[in-house]
């Protein structure tokens, strides 16, 4: 304590000398006047100085030629958010719809709704979590401890060669912290009229150069009100998730073992809810000056029960990746095998999967070369080959060019092909004599053209702009037999294009105040191909707003008091049944009482008592204002 | 309409909060840059690789440089038994044999690993940053409760013939001890 006070005393003049606008994180132009003199402090005092955390642009990822948005662990904690989908609202290149108390629909570049947001790859520490039932992600199966997330990378557009299956419209990669960086205990609790959460984590060193942490996370959310579109449903939701992560690394080896287990329930019918577990092991090794290897394997299981339907999915996955530098070539070669066994039992209506349980296989192999043509210009050429039990071999090439005329400026362009391979429902849903399985259903295909700029306009401002033009083919339709008449079948009858702009940026106005903004637009132009007719009236295209606007303010008012506020405008959804656009705000105010205790109050959707985000006619409820108080203890 | 009123209230709150007095905080990089030349004081090198009397310790920044001039400023005021600290920037491990301390950061985590591997031939105190990836040098910066701290791999240092003072070890967030 004494040392700390001394440090504060000694540091006072140094801090006073720091001009308010000195966001001296960019060091290229940082002038000596902006740099406080720390040379008089002892090494112990240096270790006690509170620091402002690094900004996104310090991440080496800034050289990646994709439309990439990074949500940092600091952003997550400051936001006061209590669930992963609410955290994802920070990414301007995602569209997040809260459908009801339990379900969210999330997509990038269109096709949103619980059933049609099926073109996204979501990775939890490298574990793919989209379901083979309908290629969609069940967000109610994931309640990680938000405080232990290192960062979330959100890519809009096909992720490129290195990401696995289903990366068509976007990739969300959630990365938790190395266990060696979460040593100690954390307890968090929040309480409000609408929602309560409690969580704990304990991390400790393991041997000489490793660490382990274990965590548990519990939540209880109230029922949402019935909206103008969906029926009244019992969507109160409560449950828990627990898990661990161990990291051991020394010299050239790094080994990770982690796992989670969860159980949650909803009030729809007695016994309704989800449960599951997973275990993942990853080993990375630096082989030489110019090569490294990574091998990963995981097992994942979940089952869901809702309204007399039951489905389960068991996944085994093995993947390996070798990086090597040869002259001015950076090569990445790798591959993976995944097998799933699912089961779908429906006692609610006569729709069945035939067979009701099935094992599927997905194989992929990839090769990417990043060629440095000049120090500023590089060309990235990649090819992924993918084969599934339902389709033959798919070739997924992508070509990118990155021009970095200065460390502060990146201009990039890309052309890629991506496919969404058929899900179980696409191929094997049946309700005879009305609906016959679509044994000929092919992959939905995308050819995407993108271009973007990412850079720093000044020491304290960043900007990222990307444009995309997507050409889709073979999107799902529901059709009569070619000659007319029953049974109807799912077919690949839609084609079209979409284009839009995504932009985001931030300005560090003063050393303690940061403003961020975001914008995304989407235009869709689709048609039923000649010889086809869509009984589902283009339902597979989803329900998307034309544009969204975001603004966020993050203020470190003192070294103890932080305030954040976020405002978003989401345009109307015009596809039937139409719903209006909305403006909503989230805010959080946090006070660090001591190194041990942090108190905060946070609110979501503060501007209206209720609003509607989804036009889902079966599930949509009114999203509600929620205010809660919380505390975090770290020791 | 009620929404607009809330918006106004929020804007008013923001203005009030913005006007509140606030203290500037240092960046992580500023503190890390201050640490780097300071480490020389708490490390012992094998006699053969110590700087000759009157010459300076070589602090190398290998690969990416997140510090810029901050590190020169920190090094300028450092003097250990009459020897200063001189900063050098190297694009790769070539020429690193003359370094006493090296901050190592590649363009990607694997790249950092490769640089570290190349440095294992020399008695160089390697320093890495947890922000850049999991690959660890003998000293690995991390953030604990909003402060810059570090892990120390004493075993690796001792294998390269370096000794680390107990004063530095006492500050570490974790130590991998020498066998």
Number of structural domains (chain A) is 2
Which of B26, B108, B134 is closest, CB to CB, to A49? Answer: B26
Task: List residues bridging with A125 in a β-sheet.
Answer: none
**Taking CB atoms and an 8 Å limit, are A555 and B25 in contact across chains?**
no
Residues of A in contact with B148 (CB under 8 A): 46-47, 49, 51
pLDDT of A19 strictly over 70: no
Shared-domain flag, residues A97 and A181: yes
Q: Residues A568-584: what's their mean pLDDT?
A: 93
Shortest CA gap A31–chain B (Å): 8
**Taking CB atoms and an 8 Å limit, are B67 and A27 in contact across chains?**
yes
Residues of B in contact with A37 (CB under 8 A): 73, 77
Which of B29, B34, B174 is closest, CB to CB, to A183? Answer: B174
Shared-domain flag, residues A42 and A61: no
Which comes out higher in pLDDT, residue A29 or B84? B84
Asked, for residue A176, whether it belongs to a domain, the answer is: yes
Residues of A in contact with B68 (CB under 8 A): 27-28, 30
- The 3-state DSSP class for residue A580 equals coil
Express each pLDDT in A513-551 by its tens digit.
Answer: 899 999 999 999 999 999 899 998 899 999 999 999 999
> What is residue A289's predicted lDDT score, i.e. its pLDDT?
65
Residue of chain B whose Cα is closest to the Cα of A209: B176
> What is residue A357's predicted lDDT score, i.e. its pLDDT?
94
Tell me which residues of chain A, numbers 237 to 296, contact chain B at a CB-CB cutoff of 8 Å: 247, 249-252, 254, 284, 286, 288-292
Shortest CA gap B163–chain A (Å): 17
What is the token pair recorded at A218?
């519990």
Q: Could you give the C-alpha distances from A610 to A220, A554, A622, A623, B17, in angstroms and in order?
A: 19, 25, 6, 5, 27
Tell me which residues of chain A, numbers 372 to 431, contact chain B at a CB-CB cutoff of 8 Å: none
Which comes out higher in pLDDT, residue A51 or A258? A258
Q: Could you give the C-alpha distances from A229 to A23, A138, A194, A371, in angstroms and in order?
A: 48, 22, 22, 53
Shared-domain flag, residues A13 and A60: no
Express each pLDDT in B116-162 by its tens digit.
Answer: 988 988 999 999 998 777 788 999 998 776 778 899 999 899 999 99
A341 close to B (CB below 8 A): no
DSSP A28: S
Residue of chain A whose Cα is closest to the Cα of B117: A289
Shared-domain flag, residues A76 and A18: no
**Taking CB atoms and an 8 Å limit, are A585 and B6 in contact across chains?**
yes
**Taking CB atoms and an 8 Å limit, are A35 and B114 in contact across chains?**
no
Task: List residues bridging with A324 in a β-sheet.
Answer: A291, A331
Shared-domain flag, residues A206 and A68: yes
User: What is the dihedral angle through the alpha carbons of A40, A46, A50, A52, rounded to the nearest 10 degrees?
Assistant: 90
Q: Can you list the pairs that A317-320 forms with residues at least 24 positions away whose Cβ atoms lie under 8 Å?
A: A317/A127, A317/A128, A319/A164, A319/A295, A320/A293, A320/A294, A320/A295, A320/A296
Express each pLDDT in A257-296 by its tens digit.
Answer: 999 999 999 877 888 999 999 999 999 887 876 788 899 9
Q: Residues B81-88: what's their mean pLDDT?
A: 89
**Taking CB atoms and an 8 Å limit, are B23 and A512 in contact across chains?**
yes
Shared-domain flag, residues A145 and A42: no
Q: Residues A157-163: what's their mean pLDDT?
A: 82
Q: Could you give the C-alpha distances from A183 to A213, A252, B153, in angstroms and in order?
A: 7, 22, 17
Asked, for residue A347, whether it belongs to a domain, the answer is: yes
**Taking CB atoms and an 8 Å limit, are A286 and B70 in contact across chains?**
no
> What is residue A595's predicted lDDT score, i.e. its pLDDT?
78
Say which CATH superfamily domain B26-176 falls into: Response regulator (3.40.50.2300)
> What is residue A13's predicted lDDT score, i.e. its pLDDT?
36
pTM score, whole prediction = 0.78
pLDDT of A10 strictly over 80: no
Asked, for residue A153, whether it belongs to a domain, the answer is: yes
**Taking CB atoms and an 8 Å limit, are B145 and A15 in contact across chains?**
no
Shortest CA gap B6–chain A (Å): 6
Q: Helix axis angle, B69-76 relative to B28-38, nearest 10°?
A: 40
Shared-domain flag, residues A85 and A33: no
CA distance B140 to A266: 45
Mean pLDDT, chain A, as a whole number?
A: 87
Residues of B in contact with A595 (CB under 8 A): 145
pLDDT of A462 strictly over 50: yes
pLDDT of B19 strictly over 60: no
Residue of chain A whose Cα is closest to the Cα of B42: A43
Closest CA to A295 of A319, A315, A323, A317: A319
Within A456-545, residue ranges assigned H as helices are none
Shortest CA gap A209–chain B (Å): 5
Helix (H) or strand (E) holding A473: strand A461-479
Which residue's entry shows tokens 């890309």? Answer: A414
Express each pLDDT in A373-386 by its tens digit.
Answer: 988 898 999 999 99
CATH number at residue A242: 2.40.170.20
Asked, for residue A51, whether it belongs to a domain, the answer is: no
User: What is the dihedral angle through the alpha carbons of B72, B77, B83, B88, rounded to the nearest 10 degrees?
Assistant: 0
Closest CA to A154 of A78, A244, A83, A85: A85
> What is residue B87's predicted lDDT score, i.e. its pLDDT?
93
Please answer whether residues A208 and A132 qualify as being in contact, where contact means their C-beta atoms are separated by less than 8 angstroms.
Answer: no
Domain range for A351: 56-634
Which residue's entry shows tokens 């039951």? Answer: A310
**Taking CB atoms and an 8 Å limit, are A49 and B131 in contact across chains?**
no
Tell me which residues of chain A, numbers 115 to 144, contact chain B at a CB-CB cutoff of 8 Å: none
CA distance B116 to A287: 12
Q: In a mutagenesis test of the A interface, which of B12, B16, B22 is the best target, namely the one with the most A β-carbons within 10 Å?
A: B22
Which of B3, B41, B77 is closest, CB to CB, to A607? Answer: B3
Shared-domain flag, residues A28 and A144: no
Shared-domain flag, residues A42 and A75: no
Give me the residue spans of the domains in chain B.
26-176
**Taking CB atoms and an 8 Å limit, are A289 and B22 in contact across chains?**
no
Q: Could you give the C-alpha distances from A4 to A41, A43, A153, B39, in angstroms and in order?
A: 11, 12, 36, 20
**Taking CB atoms and an 8 Å limit, are B24 and A634 in contact across chains?**
no
Tell me which residues of chain B, numbers 61 to 120, contact chain A at a CB-CB cutoff of 8 Å: 64-70, 73-74, 76-78, 93, 105-108, 110, 113-118, 120
CA distance A336 to A165: 10
CA distance A613 to A608: 13
Shared-domain flag, residues A69 and A41: no
Tell me which residues of chain B, numbers 114 to 143, contact chain A at a CB-CB cutoff of 8 Å: 114-118, 120, 130-136, 142-143
**Taking CB atoms and an 8 Å limit, are B153 and A250 in contact across chains?**
yes
Shortest CA gap B114–chain A (Å): 4
> How would you class B12 by CB atoms within 10 Å of its CB: exposed for 0-12, middle for 13-18, buried for 19 or more?
exposed
Shared-domain flag, residues A18 and A96: no
A581 close to B (CB below 8 A): no
Shared-domain flag, residues A388 and A512: yes
pLDDT of A612 strictly over 80: yes
């Amino acid at each position: 304590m004494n040392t700390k006070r001394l440090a504060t005393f000694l540091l006072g003049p140094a801090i006073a000398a720091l001009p308010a606008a000195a966001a001296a994180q960019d060091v290229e132009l940082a002038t000596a006047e902006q740099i406080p003199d720390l040379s008089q402090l002892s090494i112990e005092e240096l270790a006690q100085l509170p620091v402002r955390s690094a900004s996104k642009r310090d991440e080496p990822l800034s050289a990646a030629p994709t439309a990439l948005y990074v949500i940092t662990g600091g952003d997550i904690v400051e936001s006061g958010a209590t669930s992963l989908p609410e955290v994802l609202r920070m990414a301007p290149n995602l569209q997040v719809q809260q459908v009801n108390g339990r379900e969210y629909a999330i997509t990038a570049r269109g096709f949103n709704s619980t059933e049609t947001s099926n073109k996204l790859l979501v990775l939890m520490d490298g574990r793919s979590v989209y379901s083979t039932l309908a290629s969609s992600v069940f967000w109610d199966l994931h309640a990680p401890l938000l405080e232990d997330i290192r960062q979330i990378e959100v890519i809009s557009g096909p992720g490129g060669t290195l990401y696995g299956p289903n990366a068509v419209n976007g990739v969300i990669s959630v990365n938790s912290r190395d266990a060696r960086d979460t040593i100690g205990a954390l307890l968090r609790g929040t309480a409000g009229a609408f929602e309560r959460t409690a969580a704990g984590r304990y991390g400790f060193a393991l041997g000489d150069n490793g660490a382990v942490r274990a965590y548990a996370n519990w939540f209880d959310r109230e029922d949402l009100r019935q909206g103008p579109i969906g029926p009244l449903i019992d969507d109160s939701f409560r449950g828990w998730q627990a898990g661990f992560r161990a990291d051991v690394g020394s010299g050239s080896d790094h080994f990770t073992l982690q796992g989670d287990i969860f159980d949650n329930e909803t009030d729809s019918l007695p016994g309704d809810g989800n449960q599951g577990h997973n275990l993942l092991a990853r080993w990375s090794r630096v082989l030489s000056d110019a090569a490294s290897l990574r091998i990963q394997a995981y097992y994942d299981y979940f089952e869901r029960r809702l309204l007399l339907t039951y489905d389960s999915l068991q996944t085994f996955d093995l993947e390996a990746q070798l990086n090597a530098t040869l002259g001015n070539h950076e090569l990445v070669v790798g591959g993976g095998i995944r097998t799933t066994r699912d089961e779908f039992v429906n006692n609610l209506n006569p729709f069945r999967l035939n067979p009701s349980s099935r094992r599927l296989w997905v194989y992929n192999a990839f090769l990417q070369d990043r060629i440095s043509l000049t120090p500023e210009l590089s060309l990235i050429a990649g090819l992924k080959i993918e084969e599934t039990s339902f389709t033959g071999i798919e070739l997924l090439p992508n070509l990118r060019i990155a021009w970095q005329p200065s460390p502060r400026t990146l201009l990039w362009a890309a052309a890629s092909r991506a496919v969404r391979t058929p899900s179980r429902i696409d191929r094997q849903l049946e309700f005879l004599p009305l609906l016959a399985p679509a044994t000929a259903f092919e992959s939905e295909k995308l050819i995407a053209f993108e271009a973007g700029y990412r850079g720093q306009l000044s020491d304290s401002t960043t900007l990222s702009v990307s444009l995309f033009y997507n050409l889709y083919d073979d999107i799902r339709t529901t059709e009569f037999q070619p000659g007319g008449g029953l049974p109807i079948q799912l077919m690949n009858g839609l084609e079209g294009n979409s284009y839009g702009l995504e932009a985001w940026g931030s300005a560090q106005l003063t050393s303690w105040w940061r403003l961020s903004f975001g914008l995304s637009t989407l235009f869709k132009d689709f048609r039923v191909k000649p010889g086809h007719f869509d009984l589902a009236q283009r339902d597979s295209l989803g329900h998307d707003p034309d544009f969204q606007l975001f603004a966020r303010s993050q203020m470190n008012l003192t070294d103890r008091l932080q305030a954040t506020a976020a405002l978003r405008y989401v345009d109307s959804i015009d596809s039937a049944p139409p719903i209006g656009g909305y403006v909503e705000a989230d805010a959080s105010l946090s006070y660090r009482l001591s190194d041990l205790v942090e108190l905060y109050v946070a609110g979501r959707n503060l501007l209206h008592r209720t609003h509607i985000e989804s036009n889902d006619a079966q599930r949509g409820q009114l999203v509600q204002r929620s205010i809660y108080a919380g505390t975090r203890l770290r020791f | 309409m009620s929404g607009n009123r809330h918006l106004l209230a929020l804007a008013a709150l923001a203005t009030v909060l913005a006007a509140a007095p606030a203290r500037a905080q240092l960046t992580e990089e500023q503190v890390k840059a201050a640490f780097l030349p300071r480490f020389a004081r708490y490390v012992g090198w094998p006699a053969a690789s110590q700087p000759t009397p009157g010459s300076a310790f070589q602090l190398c920044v290998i690969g990416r440089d997140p510090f810029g001039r901050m590190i020169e400023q920190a090094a300028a005021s450092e003097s250990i038994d009459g020897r200063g600290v001189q900063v050098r920037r190297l694009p790769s491990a070539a020429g690193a044999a003359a370094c006493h301390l090296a901050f190592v950061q590649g363009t990607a985590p694997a790249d950092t690993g490769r640089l570290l591997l190349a440095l294992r031939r020399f008695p160089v105190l390697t320093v890495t940053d947890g922000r850049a990836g999991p690959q660890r040098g003998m000293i690995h910066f991390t953030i604990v409760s909003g402060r810059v701290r570090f892990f120390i791999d004493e075993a690796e240092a001792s294998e390269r013939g370096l000794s680390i003072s107990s004063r530095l070890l006492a500050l570490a967030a974790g130590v991998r001890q020498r066998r």
